[in-house]
Structure 1
Amino acid sequence: MATPNELTAMRRAIAISAQGLGTTSPNPPVGCVILDRDGVPVGEGYHLRKGDHHAEVNALTAAGERAEGGTAVVTLEPCNHHGRTPPCRQALIDAKVSRVLMAVMDPTSRGEGGAVVLEQAGIEIERGVLEQEALLVLGPWLHSLSTGRPHITWAYGVDTDEGHSNQALTELRRRHDLVIRRDGTIEEGVPGGHGADSFRVPLPALGDEPGKALHVLTESGARTVLIEGRSNEAARLLADAVDRVIIDVPGTRPSFSLTGPGAESAVPGGFCLSDVKPSGYRVRLTAERVTQDQ
């Protein structure tokens, strides 16, 4: 079982893993915290982009010799293969950690998997630690793997095509690999943020066939795509593939007689509210597509 210190460390790892959103694809956004023998945090790190060091290596580098005999707390099972970087499970073994906690198992893990190799090296393993919380960051990446296409978010306002403020749009863009602007232009959410030779911005128009459009987006290396604006043609083209909608609706006074359609009409059919919060003088609704098992 995870100790209170380890749970705190996992939530810290989840928090810093989000700093890789919008730049790690096609790799996952992962965070790691290293605790010393006494359970004191001595290093942390996250994965920024493909080709750079992974979260575990960054955290171990920060911890140095203090990692020996300690615990690695990581949001995703350490990788078990040589890619552009060496396998993270070997870095943990070489650092002589005694225990590794992981939140989510990696469906792309090669061979027996990083967790099994760590166990074979005599390292204690805890799986599924705060898994549901870690999925707040890793969920879209896993969704992309399972569907074979990017996770798509559509953001708009109900009373104007602008809807979201510039600051709000900037924050949304930075959490996505690709952004489809209102005029159909496709851009990186974080300009120049992805690794070389592992990601490209689609240059041709998406066309008018949903299947081909999804293929173009998938081939770019994107795991997440943001569509901006209610009247964006891409929203119509990819309507059946939209997984999440983020909608700004007008706020109101504490007591107000409503004669027109209510805010509930802002959420498209087939979606269920997952979050509601104020955003300036407006209210932001987030809704997820309802699946058959919900």
Structure 2
Amino acid sequence: MADPAELAAMRRAISLAALGLGTTSPNPPVGCVILDRRGVVVGEGFHERKGEAHAEAHALAMAGDRARGGTAVVTLEPCNHFGRTPPCRKLLIEAGIARCVIAVIDPTSREEGGAARLRAAGIDVEVGVLADEAELVLGPWLRALRTGRPFVTWASLAEVDGGRSSLPDPLLAEVRASVDAVLAEDGQVFEGVRGGHGPGMVELDGLASGGSPADLLASLHQGGVRSAVLNYNETNATSFLAAGLVDQVLVYLPARSAGSGGLGFGPEEFIPARYELREVRKTNGFVVIRAERA
């Protein structure tokens, strides 16, 4: 069973993994922490971009010889295949890791998987450690694998009359910072994280939406997109909602002017049927609600 140092390291690895949101697709956002024999953190890293070093490689490079006899704590099962980078299970074995703590098994594992290969090499492997917490970051990627389309968030600005409009650029900048693509009301699709995704990512700029919502999302998924934001008003989002293609809604509720008593409307007005409230927070003069499809 994972000890307190390993649990703390896993939560740190989960936080590190979030730094890769929006830039790793179609690969998953993964974090890794290396503990030495005494349980002290000696290395850490996260997968930054597709085609570049994985989380384990970054963490092992930082740890150096201190990794020998230590523990690798990783949010997703180390990969077991050769691609643009060598298999992470091979790097861990060569580094002399004695134990590997894994949150989530990789559903895309090839052959017997990295965990099995690590065990075969004599490494103690524990799986399922803080898996629910790890899925706070891995969840959209895992959902995209199951559905064959990106994890979709409908983001909107609440209007006093009960309607919803698309987000203005300052608010959209916050939302797009952790997704692969943004679908705009004018039918265009563009990259979520500014600065691009690196080699192999689908070319999004100027891509017309066209076709049905399902066709568009399937096309984006095929091109490598695993998470997308609909920056739509209520009318334009209707077809996606009706088809069951929205995984969560994000609504910005403007605060009323000082002394007016708070919000001019309640969150319940903006949560669609079959969605459940998951988060309420305050940011820059807005109350933001997040609801997920039940």
The Cα shift of 1:43 comes to 0.6
1:99-156 deviation line (CA, Å, top 9, x unaligned) = 0001011000011110011001000011111100000000000000001110000110
Report if the CA contact (8 A) 2:156-2:164 is conserved: yes
Equivalent residue, structure 2, for 1:71: 71
Distance 1:186 1:210 in 2: 13
The Cα shift of 1:213 comes to 1.6
Equivalent residue, structure 2, for 1:286: 290
Equivalent residue, structure 2, for 1:23: 23
Distance 1:10 1:267 in 2: 33
The Cα shift of 1:163 comes to 6.7
Aligned equivalent of 1:274, options 269, 274, 278: 278
Equivalent residue, structure 1, for 2:93: 93
Report if the CA contact (8 A) 1:208-1:237 is conserved: no
Report if the CA contact (8 A) 1:25-1:199 is conserved: no
Report if the CA contact (8 A) 1:10-1:73 is conserved: yes
The Cα shift of 1:261 comes to 6.0
The Cα shift of 1:255 comes to 8.4
Report if the CA contact (8 A) 1:31-1:75 is conserved: yes
Equivalent residue, structure 2, for 1:244: 248
Distance 1:197 1:262 in 2: 43
Equivalent residue, structure 2, for 1:184: 187
- Runs of 4+ in structure 1 off by over 6 angstroms are none
Distance 2:240 2:201 in 1: 24
Distance 2:166 2:102 in 1: 39
Equivalent residue, structure 2, for 1:128: 128
Equivalent residue, structure 1, for 2:221: 218
Distance change (3 Å), C-alpha of 1:285 and 1:89 = same
The Cα shift of 1:194 comes to 1.5
Greater displacement, 148-157 / 222-231: 222-231
Normalised by the size of structure 1, how large is the TM-score? Answer: 0.91
The Cα RMSD (Å) is: 2.2
Distance 1:196 1:187 in 2: 16
Equivalent residue, structure 2, for 1:206: 209
Distance 1:44 1:217 in 2: 32
Report if the CA contact (8 A) 1:34-1:41 is conserved: yes
1:168-191 deviation line (CA, Å, top 9, x unaligned) = 421210110001123332111123
The Cα shift of 1:267 comes to 0.9
Alignment partner of 1:194 is 2:194 = no
Equivalent residue, structure 2, for 1:52: 52
Distance 1:185 1:257 in 2: 36
Aligned equivalent of 2:233, options 230, 234, 237: 230
Unaligned runs of 5+ in 2: none
Distance change (3 Å), C-alpha of 1:268 and 1:100 = same
Report if the CA contact (8 A) 1:182-1:232 is conserved: no
Distance 2:20 2:98 in 1: 27
Normalised by the size of structure 2, how large is the TM-score? Answer: 0.91
Unaligned runs of 5+ in 1: none
1:23-67 deviation line (CA, Å, top 9, x unaligned) = 000000000000111111011000011110100011000110110
Distance change (3 Å), C-alpha of 1:231 and 1:183 = farther
Distance 1:262 1:50 in 2: 41
